[in-house]
Amino acid sequence: MTDTTRVGLVVVSHSDMLANGVAELAAQMAPDVTVQPVGGTEEGGLGTDYGAVVEALADADSGAGVVVLYDLGSAKMTAEMAVESADDPSRYAVVDAPLVEGAVAAAVAAQGGASLADVAATAEGASSETPAATPNRPALHLVQGAVSAEVQLTNEVGLHARPAALLARTVAELDADVTVRYGTEEANAASVLALMGLSAPGGKSITVVATGKDAEEAVRRIEELAERGFDD
Partner 1 sequence: MGCTAADVVAAVRAAAAVVQEHRDELVRLDQAIGDADHGENMKRGFTAVVSRLDAEPPDTPAKVLKLVATTLISTVGGAAGPLYGTAFLRASSALGDAAELDSALVARALQAALDGVIARGKAAVGDKTMVDALTPAVTAAASADGSVAATLSAAADAAAEGASSTVPMVARKGRASYLGERSAGHMDPGARSTALLLRALADTAAKA
Minimum Å distance from CB 77 to partner 1? 4
CA 33, CA 74: separation in Å to the nearest integer? 26
Does 15 engage in binding with partner 1 (CB under 8 A)?
no
Looking at the DSSP bridge assignments, the partners of residue 68 are: 10, 94
Q: With beta carbons less than 8 A apart as the criterion, state whether 25 and 100 touch.
A: yes
Confirm whether 14 is a catalytic residue: yes
Calculate the dihedral angle through the C-alpha atoms of 153, 118, 215, 225, rounding to the nearest 10 degrees: -30
Q: Considering only residues 77, 86, 132, 157, which one is a binding residue for partner 1 as defined by CB under 8 A?
A: 77
Nearer residue to partner 1 within complex by CB, 73 or 138: 73
Does 51 engage in binding with partner 1 (CB under 8 A)?
yes
CA 232, CA 116: separation in Å to the nearest integer? 30
Residues 190 to 219: which contact partner 1 by CB under 8 A?
Answer: none
CA 169, CA 185: separation in Å to the nearest integer? 21
Minimum Å distance from CB 167 to partner 1? 37
Does 173 engage in binding with partner 1 (CB under 8 A)?
no
Burial group, residue 142, by CB count within 10 angstroms (0-12, 13-18, 19+): exposed
The piece of 71-79, 142-150, 188-196, 214-222 that touches partner 1 (CB under 8 A) is: 71-79
Does 81 engage in binding with partner 1 (CB under 8 A)?
yes
What residues are labeled active site?
A: 14
Binding site residues, partner 1, CB under 8 A: 41-42, 45-51, 72-74, 77-78, 80-81
